[in-house]
Structures are given as C-alpha cells and as structure tokens.
Structure 1
Amino acid sequence: MESAVFNLIEDLDQSTTNWKIKARVTRMWTSVSSENGSVKGYNVILLDDDNNHVHAFAYPNIWNGFKTPVIEGGVYVFDQFSVKDVVGNLKPVQADIRIRFSQYTTVTAVEDDGMIPAYKFEFLDLGDLFTEANKYQPQQQPEFAIDVIGVIEDFEPLTKLDTKFGMRDIVKFRICDSSNQHKVSVWRDLVVLANNIYTKELQSPVIAIITSTKVTTFMNTVQIGTLPSSKLYLNLDDESVTDMRMRLKEEGYLSKREKYLKAAKSEFVQTFMERMTLKDLNEKLTYDDLKKRIYTTFSVVKVDEDVAWFRIMVFAEDDTFSCNVMLMDRAARRIVGTSAIKAYNDFEKV
C-alpha cells in the first residue's frame, strides 16, 4: 500500500534523514540577498494527501543539482532530507518543523492522481486582523504570516513610491467583506503579477486570496503588506472562493459601485418623487422644489381649443384648487399614453 511506502508530513521529526514523502508543490519563491540581489536559496510549500503542509528549503547548489525540475503545482516524491525546528518570524505556514534538502535528497516527478489538494490556506477572518496586529509592539514581528481572503475594491495600478529603500514599485487596493475593509500594499515581484491579472473582464466581485501577508496597524487602521513568500490569486477555482461568494450573497454584500447606485437611487426616490396638490404648486412652490421631480393628480375639466401639435392646454382641478395646466406632447405621451393632439381629439369626442 502507498501509505506504507510514504511518510506523512505530520509524522516528520529530527530523529532521522531517512524520510520519503509524496507531496504537491503549492507555492515557490526565492530568498534573495538584500545587499546584492543574489539568490540565497529556494523555498517551496509541500502539501500531502493528508492535507498537511510544510515549508522546505534548499541552498542554490542543492536546488540546481536536482535532476528533476521542480515546478509549482507538480507532484513529486522527495526522498532523504533532514528536518529542522522552524525558527524566525513571519513563517509561511503554521508548522513547528521545516524540511532542509541536502546533497543526498532525490526528487522524482510522479503522476498527479488527484489525491492531493491543489491548495491549502490558513485564513484569518478580516474582522480579526486588527486584534491580531495589535498583539505586537511596533518592532515586533508576528510568529506566522497570515493568509487572507476578500473582495478587491479601489484597485490602483502599478506606480512608484519613494521609500527608505529608494523608489519601489507598488500596487494598492482594499480587501473587503460585508463588514470590514483593509488597505493592501503589494510589493516586490508580486507587483507585476497583480498589475497584469487584475482586469475588468474578471468575474465580479473579484475575490482575492493573498498568502503569507504581514499585518500591521497605522493610525488605528489595518495595513496588509506582502512578503517574498506571498502569493496572490484572483477568482481562484477553489472551494474557499466558492464559499466566500456564498457568504457574500447571504450577507448582502454590495460593491462600492453598487452601494453608490443604491444610495443614489434612494436619494432620487426620496428627493425627487414628492406629491403636491395644485394649490401647493400654485402658492408654495419654491426654488428648491424646482430641483425635484414632483407629481400631482387632477381631473381635466376643459381642453383649450387653441391647440398646437406639440402641446395641449387643459383646465385642471383637484380638491384644493383649479388652474390651467399645459401638457407638452412628451408629457402627454408619458401620462396618458398618447400624443397631445390625439388626447385633444379624443376629449372632443366625449
């Protein structure tokens, strides 16, 4: 049985290097020197069929020595490697160990039988980010990086920002759900990808998954930043995105544009659809009223015989007042469903 051949990620420890796992590479990135930009190492996240994942690392000479090229999304058998305690902050996955590939490690590509999921995320709800970020002092780093999911709003295309490290490319947007919204700044190599994949053709609302983010607070608001280990997925074909869409629908989420249109429609109804009597129209009409859409109801008592093709003058009355009312042809068509001249002719036949 395959379960007897391969070890599970949850069983790995430092007792031996004689480990053999079958896993999918769900994410990849390089560690780069901040001094000269040289590659310091290669990183992968490995996920097994028991839905456990772990961070693995290889120095450049080890990575380049693999006979089988390793690509993101591929399934491989990794044999002979060491296991180390995970150290440092902003760890990409919540595991206590990390794999270290060595010169004895072999990598073999195997058929993808669909038993290993394509992705695994460890989301923190957007509503919990502020509390999480406030756990740490300004100079402290969280133990783990955070995966987030939400709707993209206010996307700002690639621009340059003057930072203490010099001019750097940046893409900014907000990530939202029905109750929360936070600012996101995308940095480094992820900038170009974000700028290219966010298009108007994407299904709306555009749901983003951002892995391995650094969350801080500034002026009492949450700031989400990306790291070298961060990945950005838009409208990913994943159960988490499907669940998010259902949640948004159930909670009545509206995009920024939809909220604007709803507010405008509400204001239009409240401000422009006001009923007035003929007496009010005659005696109380103000300049502000001219900006509104006003309606009234009345009975037509008489039609002026001096009619033009584009208008009709009627003598109207309601319970409060009697007066002349001019119906332009367009108004006549809208109100009585016919032209002014036809309305006049029909009235004469009565």
Structure 2
Amino acid sequence: MQEVSIFNKYDKVQQLHSERTEWTLRVRAQAVWKGINRQTQEFRGLNVIFIDDSNWRIHAFVSAKISVFFDDILKEGVIYTLSNFHVRDYGTEEKNRAVRFGKHIYFANHTQLVPEVDNITNIAPYAFDLFLIADARTLLNDTRFLIDTVGKLEDKNIETVHSKEDEKKVHIRFRISDERSYINVTFFGDLAVQFEKSVKEIKDADISVIISSAKVNEHEGILGLLNLICEEHLNKMTDPAYCVNTDEPLLDHTPPLISVEDIKKLTKDFIEKKVRCQITVKKVDEKSNWYDNVCSTCGVEVTTVDGRYRCVLCSRNVPFPDKRFRIATLCNDTTGLIAIVFPDDEIQRIIGKNAFELEDEVGDENKFPTLLKNFEKKDYVITLTISERNVNKISNIYTATDISDPIEVLGNHSPTNEALVTPAKDPVVNPAKAPIVQNCDNITASV
C-alpha cells in the first residue's frame, strides 16, 4: 500500500491540461538546449524535452527572464520532481514542434524543480517518435512538427566544410539509410563539428544514427534533413551533443527598425512581413477586453451560440474555453501615434502569469487588471507583422509578434514635442530582407 501512495502522488504528462497549474510531474530531462535568436544572438530562454515513466514526452520552456533560477540545476539525464507550472495548448500557427503532443509547459517564477536523489522507479534515458525515412516527405508540407528518424550512416569518411565567405560557418553532409530508403542530412555549426568528431572516434564499421527534432526540407527536388534545433545520438555515444545555435545559411535578416511614420507608409511589398519600431506605450485601453476566449483545441476565438461557447473552426461546443491575453495599446515615437495589440505569449513572458491566474487575482473577469496597466510609460522594441488591411488603410491597428523587455530610454517621445532625432523620409528597408526567420526558441522552438 505504501508503494501505491508513492506512485499516485505524481501526475502523468498525458493528463496535463491548461485549466490548472497545481501539477506535479516526475520526469527526466532528455534534452536541454538554449534558445538563441540567430540574427541578434539574443538569449531567449532554455528549452527542455521531459519524459515521464510512461515514455510520454513534452516540451518545456524557461524564459530568459527566469532562467537564472534553473540553469544551474537543469541538466540532461537528471530525474526531477517538477511542480507549479503553466500548461498551454499549441496554437494552429505554432510550427516546428519538437514533440508531437498537443500541449507544452511554461516555467513561472513559482515553478519548483527538484533533482531526485534516490530513483524510486526507472525512467528511460531517451524516447523518440521515430518515422520511417520513406515517410519523411509527409512532414515536408506539414510544418507543425519536426521529425525523429533512424538510419545507418552510409559513409564514415565525412568531413566538415567551411564557408568560403566566412570560415566560422561550417557544415557537414552525409546520408543515412534503412535498407529501403535513404535521405540526405546536413548539420550546421557546432553540431557538424561534434558529429564529425564522434564518427571518427567510433571504430565500428557500422554506425546507426538516431536524429531527433530535424527539419524536413527539399532542395532542387531532393529531400533532406536539417538541424533546426538539433540534437544527435550516435551508437555507443555516452554524451549526446546538442546544437545551441543553428548556423545554417542565412535566408533572412533581422526585421528593420523604422519609425512609426514610415510604418504607416509601407506598401504591399511588406504584406505578411515584419518590421521593428522603438516606441513608448502611451496608453493601455481599459475599455476593450483584455483577453479572448479561445477554443482549447485549436486556439481560435470562440463565439456564443444559444448561451454556449462554440468554435467556428472545430464546429463544436467548448464547455470551458481557454483564455488568451489581448491588450490594446496606443503607442508613440517622435514621429507619430500607432495602435498596437499585444499578444498572449509575450504578455505572459513579461508579467509571468497567464490570463486565468490574473483573473483569479483580480476576482472579476470584467475588471481590468492593474498589472496590465504597468505597460504604460515604458519603452519597448516591438516587432510588428504588417497585414494587407494595414497596407490598404482598412485597419490602423497593428499586431505585435515580439516585445522586448522594458528598456530605459531618456526623453519624451510625444509627437507633439520636438523630435530628438530626425527620422528618414523613406523607410530604410529592403523587401528581400524581410524575415523568414525560425529561431530555436520557437518550437515552438528551441530554442
């Protein structure tokens, strides 16, 4: 009877849902890697793949803001008791997920991560969701997930190649097969160097390679795998190597930093592209809803039909919808005013709470939380996605996708005051440099 009580005190990964935070898991950290913006080199946070004793895996993210509390104890291979964390459903737009599970974990200030001293039950060191190489093409168009696969290394005589333009950029190419199919693989950066070293150290003639969380791509009709967040496991390797920062050829650039005045002049060349602006939040609108009720399955905003929440996309009733932050702000720089909607994930990252927790603190869903007013009178660098409605002047409301932590900037940015810096008359932007970026922390990253 004592053993039963010990086992039952832990929740299972497959049981997690977003309606509560009082969870306690017993999990092993299968993989840990840093999320780094490839263009700005900004550290975004820590990514983890946890596995429980039922071999269920889930991705977890520790934002840079609180990573200092966990980076010393969060190590690959260690078993932990993990409690008091947020569970979020993946949205329909979240791509390149390292785990094929509908939810992921976000650490908070009050999250507890305790290394286990004595193993009560065993947890496997690794778990994979292996696809046949022949099935890799199915994920070429389904960009929601990365792929795990396994194959025999066809040629051990492989070497890293340095870029002619930049000696610091390195890659390695090889091919794996499973006797029925084969696929080309390209590793970039640190992973390429570590992979070459590991292959040379293995004396066996045959080497089997498990590649986890790889990106399926196609170049000139040839299918291949890339290390987007990258980890690799080799037969007889004791310490898996993880790619901290992918160094694949740059396909994009950091979104340009331009003025509010120039944002309003953007043409159709910028539809669905991103730009950045440095602004001051002049006002947070308390009259508009500070959250949306969304479908707990697909993340689409629900409507009310006959007194019930209903998802238009799923065509089903949603008895208990999720809540997502959505605050409307009026911002300005020295050149003008702009209305910007702040998104759920960035608000959660900055304030360290989700909408359910904030509603519980306020005690009244119709009352605007004071905490959200704290965005006012602060300066941010904000990344905006330009919509067709913005360009065609149908809507003057812009949507933010990334928000920096508050920055200290002296001076008053009110457009009624004299500008401290004269902005350029035309936006200094090259349309070809609009981002197609995919960072390690967007696995929905990892990273």
Interval of TM-score (by shorter of Structure 1 and Structure 2): 0.5 to 0.7
Conserved 8 A contact 2:175-2:182: yes
Deviations 1:241-293 (A, max 9, x none): xxxxxxxxxxxxxxxxxxxxxxxxxxxxxxxxxxxxxxxxxxxxxxxxxxxxx
Runs of 4+ in 1 over 4 A off after TM superposition: none
Deviation of the 1:113 alpha carbon: 4.4
Q: Map residues 3-22 of structure 1 onto 2, 5 A cutoff.
A: 3-22=7-26
Deviation of the 1:120 alpha carbon: 0.5
Report what 1:175 is aligned to: 176
Deviation of the 1:158 alpha carbon: 1.4
The secondary structure found in structure 2 opposite 1:157 is: coil
Report what 1:259 is aligned to: none
| Identity between Structure 1 and Structure 2 (%) | 23
* 1:115 matched to 2:125: no
* Letter aligned with residue 35 of structure 2: S
Conserved 8 A contact 1:130-1:221: no
The secondary structure found in structure 2 opposite 1:199 is: helix
Report what 1:103 is aligned to: 109
Deviations 1:98-144 (A, max 9, x none): 100000011111033452111110111012223442xx2xxxx6110
* Letter aligned with residue 123 of structure 2: I
Choose from 157, 160, 163 the match for 2:159. 157
Report what 2:234 is aligned to: 234
Moved more, 22-31 or 148-157: 148-157
In 2: Cα distance, 1:72 partner to 1:151 partner: 25
Deviations 1:10-33 (A, max 9, x none): 111111111110100001111101
* Letter aligned with residue 18 of structure 2: Q
In 2: Cα distance, 1:67 partner to 1:92 partner: 20
In 2: Cα distance, 1:151 partner to 1:175 partner: 5
Larger Rg: 1 or 2? 1
Report what 1:126 is aligned to: 133
In 2: Cα distance, 1:187 partner to 1:81 partner: 33
Report what 2:39 is aligned to: 35
Conserved 8 A contact 1:56-1:99: yes
Aligned residues: 230
Report what 2:75 is aligned to: 71
* Letter aligned with residue 161 of structure 2: T
The secondary structure found in structure 2 opposite 1:10 is: helix
Q: RMSD of the TM alignment (CA)?
A: 2.3
Conserved 8 A contact 1:67-1:107: no
Deviations 1:200-258 (A, max 9, x none): 63323100011011112233321111112x211111589xxxxxxxxxxxxxxxxxxxx
Deviation of the 1:48 alpha carbon: 0.5
In 1: Cα distance, 2:27 partner to 2:112 partner: 13
Kindly indicate which of the two structures has a greater share of residues assigned to helix.
1
Deviation of the 1:35 alpha carbon: 2.8
Deviation of the 1:68 alpha carbon: 6.0
In 1: Cα distance, 2:70 partner to 2:21 partner: 17
Q: Map residues 1-350 of structure 1 onto 2, 5 A cutoff.
A: 1-66=5-70, 69-87=73-91, 88-110=94-116, 111-113=118-120, 115-133=122-140, 136=141, 142-154=143-155, 155-161=157-163, 168-199=169-200, 201-228=202-229, 230-236=230-236
The secondary structure found in structure 1 opposite 2:163 is: strand
* Letter aligned with residue 125 of structure 1: L
Deviation of the 1:74 alpha carbon: 0.4
Conserved 8 A contact 2:139-2:147: no
The secondary structure found in structure 2 opposite 1:198 is: helix
In 2: Cα distance, 1:47 partner to 1:78 partner: 12
Question: Aligned in 2, Cα 1:153/1:113: closer, same or farther, shift over 3 Å?
Answer: farther
In 1: Cα distance, 2:164 partner to 2:101 partner: 36
In 2: Cα distance, 1:191 partner to 1:17 partner: 39
* Letter aligned with residue 145 of structure 2: F
Higher relative contact order (CA 8 A, sep 6+): 2
Gaps of 5+ in 1: 239-350
Question: Aligned in 2, Cα 1:187/1:67: closer, same or farther, shift over 3 Å?
Answer: closer
